[in-house]
Amino acid sequence: MKRPWHSLAPDAVCDALRTGNAGLSTSEARRRLLADGPNQLAERPKPGPVRRFIGQFGDVTVVALLVAAVIAVVLALYDDAPQSTLARYGDAIAIGIIVLMNAVIGFVQERKAESALEALQSMTAPVARVSRDGQRATVGAVELVTGDVVFLGEGDRVPADLRLLEASDVAVSEAALTGESAPVRKDSTAELPDETALAERETLCFMGTHVTAGRATGVVVATGMQTELGLIAGMLGAVDAPETPLQAELRRFGAWVVVGCVAIGMIVFAVQALRTDAGFSLLFLTAVSLAVAAIPEGLPAVTTIVLALGVQRMAARNALVRRLPAVEALGSAQVICSDKTGTLTQNQMTVRRLATAHLRADVGDDTALLRLYRGGKELSPERHGVLRRLVAACRFAPAASVSVDAKGGRHIAGNPTDGALLDLYARADFGADERLITGERPFDRERRLATVRVAEREGGVVGYTHGAFESVVAACVSVLDEAGEPVPLEAALREELALRMEAWAADGLRVLAIAERRAAHSTPLDVLETEMTLIGLVGMSDPPRPEVPAAILTAKKAGVATMMITGDHPKTARAIGNEVGLVEGELLSGAQIDEMNDQELASRLPRVAIVARATALHKLRIVQAFDAMGMSVAMTGDGVNDAPALKAATIGIAMGKGGTDVTREAADLVLSDDNYASIVAAIEEGRVIFSNIQKFILFLLSVNTGLVLAVFFASLLGWPPILTPTEILWINLITNGLPALALGREPVHLDPMARGPRDPGAGFVSFVDGVWLVGHGIWMALLGLLVFAYHAQSGDITTARTMAFTVLAIAPLFHAFNCRSRTDSIFALGAFGNRSLLAAFGVALLLQGIAVYVPVVDEVFRTQPLSPGEVAIALAVSASALVVGELEKVVTRRLAGAWTAPGDRSGADARGSA
């Protein structure tokens, strides 16, 4: 992310140096603030409540429903039959209610997600310490301008891009910006800058990063959108968020429904024009009525409600959904592109190995107590004096501090390396070390050492030094033997220790050496760093989250590949990859990606498991390459550098605790616990949701097929209308809508993670599904036609229509049980396995009874009460839909048994059960 040197305000640096860091005057700062604007990231203008609500009506199927409502009004206007206003406009009113309900649910859910995200915002430093009018002052970070002199201390968040004028042992964590877990050392600009000096990144502190050690004074060289953070945020504007698989499929499906409805209407119009002498208006209205009947009016509302229920379940599993379709999108994920720092790892340096001249130990994962192991057997520091002295020496790490909260939890502040040493000591629980620290010599890049002088109780002092292996060992003349006595450090042992250091480094560990020197009280600190005695080595790293290896294995079994993308060195990246289970696949570096065009990158990526030395642009190119291959990609991350790739991915997943505002704004899903295992749970939930959406879509389509065929063939046979438009809408919205909603809550039958992800390009309905739903639709249509024909023989058309209405409303209720699984009987699934469906069955029966028997309502539907015998016939005929479904499953299972080895049922219900 290197920018042209001339963009870094060299004049501001020069002025600050010439004026002795006196800073700007208040009036000049005010003038620059008016000219350049506040020091904050530009937020994309959010649509207001009205615009957001209107946006809920953009779905193709919803538009079709609105058109249907207009048509229903036209039908009512041309209907000369005497009827009440409610009866006349009942169709339009019902459609309007269902569309409005769908919009309200979507609007409320989006608003809840926005409110939750607003509560997470904490990226920009709220205040800054500056020099104004030659005096130190505290101002709001948004008021900083180019040329302000800012003072930084350990633990501060950098409020703007700064050029350091003075620096004392400064280290900055840039993990949020670059993904690098290790702090970066920073130097000051020692003299008036020239072009070369201004290009040095080491003299810059960037907005949004954290000071982990030291103190510094810097001059603001960029604010707001001109900062490195702002440049990355600006990249988001050039990245279009792709459609999720569900959005794309619903769009295609809605278009297909509209085209199908128009085609059906045209066919009916043509057939009727050839067979009858009716006028154009009557033929047109009849054709339009049938086209309206073909639209599954309940689909948008049921889909929205099922997704909203999925949002609630995922919130209980620590996943906040920002866009409803993202609930399902994870279920189709084929690749997870995961950031390493803070996502796969804990973003906290931890000591993993210890070594003395004669003993090596692994540090256990217990975060409360120190447990050491050798060859799988636990070691006691108490029984190994040198090991205990090595751990005790970790107590003297001056650049960090450890605090304990009310619940006993430890919190580390300051330099992560020193923090890891202090944490190791705290876990050992050796008790309070009351020895007095009489001097400190902080770490610097030249010496690569840090030393603490401690007064001994028996007199004299001991200097504890830790730092880079090469620097510490070079200054040692002796080493502690097994008895804890100093013996000469021979060349052979030096070589052996160097080989151990290289082996640990190859495993991704940062290796420190710790030494001591005992001397008189008056010994200077620099002398204590000479002729030392080596105590041992400490190997530390940013460890994987404990749950990550199992989560990656689960994802692999589910057919979802994981790719780790990090800014670390390739060796470090490979070592972490091996720890989390990414042992297969190639390693690709950012430099190699730079040498590839998009086609070469796309051809290489399927074989890659780890990408090292990656920048924000590399991550974005990787996601776009997968997208170009038609693959569904989930991108996880917490740093600002992840934001553009998160937005470009099929679904972006941000971290709620360690994540940044820019990242969360770009994401579809925010993990409130930053737990990688929650991603796997979300994938499972997404697969279950898609399976259930597929269930109710097949249910709605099969029922609508029955309605269309019944009305269509009755028209071909020259019969009177067997259903009124209001009755058709009632069946679509009420008696069908409730079971469809219940199918959206169907419990899991088979393990959804035992099969691969679905093809994002595959539709909701396959050819086999189409045959299945048409077959059941034909059977339900036949039932309605038969009962109408039987009762119409007496000339009582109203009773015949009421019977057809009842059968075509109740048969789908029985058919809903068929849709729970395409292969398993309801007796195998458990008749009470989906209590929501049983409740929907009962409520729908009650509502159908109201439509037939309540005097005010039957006027709207133009029905008449049925006798007990007629009700019994209607129920028996309707129940045959379930009987036919069970017989079809028996045949399907036997055919599957003939094609599948005994006992092999894996994926047998891949489409029918989640």
Question: What is the rounded distance in angstroms from the CA atom of residue 114 to the CA atom of residue 94?
Answer: 31
Reduce the DSSP state of residue 539 to 3 states and report it. strand
One-letter amino acid for residue 641 of the chain = N
Would you give the DSSP letter of residue 80? -
- Token pair in block for residue 700: 């709605």
Residue found by looking up tokens 């024909």 in the block: 789
Cα–chain center distance at 574: 24
- Token pair in block for residue 651: 């679904």
Question: What is the rounded distance in angstroms from the CA atom of residue 463 to the CA atom of residue 32?
Answer: 51
Q: How many CA atoms lie within 13 A of 473 on its CB side?
A: 24
Question: What is the rounded distance in angstroms from the CA atom of residue 62 to the CA atom of residue 49?
Answer: 19
339 catalytic? Reply is yes
Question: Which residue in 481, 551, 547, 466 sits closest to 511, CA to CA?
Answer: 466
Distances from the Cα of 914 to the Cαs of 690, 906, 909, in angstroms? 8, 12, 8
Total residue count of the chain as it appears in this document? 914
Would you give the DSSP letter of residue 214? E
Distances from the Cα of 280 to the Cαs of 274, 284, 285, 718, in angstroms? 12, 6, 9, 17
Burial of 623 (0-12, 13-18, 19+ CB in 10 A): buried
CB proximity list for 827: less than 8 A, separation 6 or greater: none
Q: What is the dihedral of CA 442, 130, 147, 644, to 10 degrees?
A: 70
221 near 9, Cβ under 8 Å?
yes
Distances from the Cα of 326 to the Cαs of 243, 310, 689, 692, in angstroms? 10, 10, 11, 15
* Host H or E run for residue 610: strand 608-612
Backbone phi, then psi, for 676, in 5-degree steps?
A: -60, -30
Would you give the DSSP letter of residue 585? S
Question: What is the rounded distance in angstroms from the CA atom of residue 611 to the CA atom of residue 579?
Answer: 15
Reduce the DSSP state of residue 267 to 3 states and report it. helix
- C-beta atoms surrounding 49 within 10 Å: 10
Exactly one of 59, 91, 339, 423 is catalytic; name it.
339
Cα–chain center distance at 450: 41
849 near 825, Cβ under 8 Å?
no
Bridge partners of 242, per DSSP, are none
CB proximity list for 717: less than 8 A, separation 6 or greater: none
Question: What is the rounded distance in angstroms from the CA atom of residue 480 to the CA atom of residue 354?
Answer: 14
Question: What is the rounded distance in angstroms from the CA atom of residue 127 to the CA atom of residue 151?
Answer: 11
Would you give the DSSP letter of residue 623? H
734 near 860, Cβ under 8 Å?
no
The full DSSP string for 337-354 is EEEIIIIIB-SS-EEEEE
Q: H-type helices in 136-235, by residue range?
A: 175-178, 195-198, 228-235
Reduce the DSSP state of residue 175 to 3 states and report it. helix
Question: Which residue in 309, 317, 319, 322 sits closest to 689, CA to CA?
Answer: 309
CB proximity list for 380: less than 8 A, separation 6 or greater: 372
Active-site residues: which are they? 339
